[in-house]
Amino acid sequence: MDAQDNRSSNVVWHQAAVTRSGREQTNGHNSALLWFTGLSGAGKSTLAHAVEERLHSLGAKTFVIDGDNVRHGLCGDLSFSNEDRVENIRRIGEVAKLFVESGTLTLTAFISPFRSDRAKVRSLLDDDDFIEVYCRTSLDVCESRDVKGLYAKARAGEIPAFTGISSPYEEPENPEIVADTGTLPLQECVHQVISYLVDQGIISRK
């Protein structure tokens, strides 16, 4: 049965009286989605949380949606097959859209290996709301950081469809930000992201 057939015909979108712009005005900054993507071990979560700490210190309303965390709940029923990876990103995209509408500076840290999936999330949002942050790190560096031994297991064939080894990672073609997390200090990458947000008028530096 097609997914469309399961949708209720009695569902009507309710337009809230409190608007996104009103929430942004209360927060003192605009909202947006910062989508951190890269290989496992590229430093996505580390950078996303460090950026959030900096934004929090500036008084911004923030939230990080972390790839591992959602696998414990919202996406706990999904595997790591290509099909389920697509569904994983679809769900996160819809959740992130709600956070952006709430006036929150939303940060996500997901491998999100497929360009088409990232493009679908971008299409959910208004122009300039989706900020792709490519955490660029070589595979060698990622493997050297692999404290869980996942790459070794993948190379031994113990983990199927592991991104970068037995499943592809499609690098962003035109990301808003390229953070060289494999070579630059963490705080320099944080500064790069914050500076972009300031330059775009999303936040003001205090």
Could you read off the pLDDT of 84-134 as tens digits, one per residue?
888 888 888 999 999 999 999 999 998 999 999 999 999 999 889 999 999
pTM of the full structure? 0.86
User: Of all residues in the chain, what percent carry a pLDDT higher than 90?
Assistant: 67
What pLDDT is stored for residue 68 in this prediction?
67
112 given a catalytic annotation: yes
d(CA 190, CA 77): 33
- Residue 70 clears pLDDT 60, i.e. is over it: yes
User: Of all residues in the chain, what percent carry a pLDDT higher than 70?
Assistant: 89
How high does pLDDT run on average in the chain?
88
Please report which confidence band the pLDDT of residue 6 belongs to, taking 50, 70 and 90 as the band edges.
Answer: low
The CATH code for residues 27-199 is: 3.40.50.300
Angle between helices 82-101 and 115-124 (to 10 degrees): 20
Catalytic one of 31, 45, 112, 167: 112
- Residue 4 clears pLDDT 60, i.e. is over it: no
- Residue 69 clears pLDDT 90, i.e. is over it: no
DSSP letters, 76-107, are: TT--SSHHHHHHHHHHHHHHHHHHHHTT-EEE
What pLDDT is stored for residue 39 in this prediction?
95
Domain segments of the chain as ranges: 27-199
Please report which confidence band the pLDDT of residue 1 belongs to, taking 50, 70 and 90 as the band edges.
Answer: very low
> To the nearest 5 percent, what fractions of the chain are helix, strand and coil?
40, 15, 45
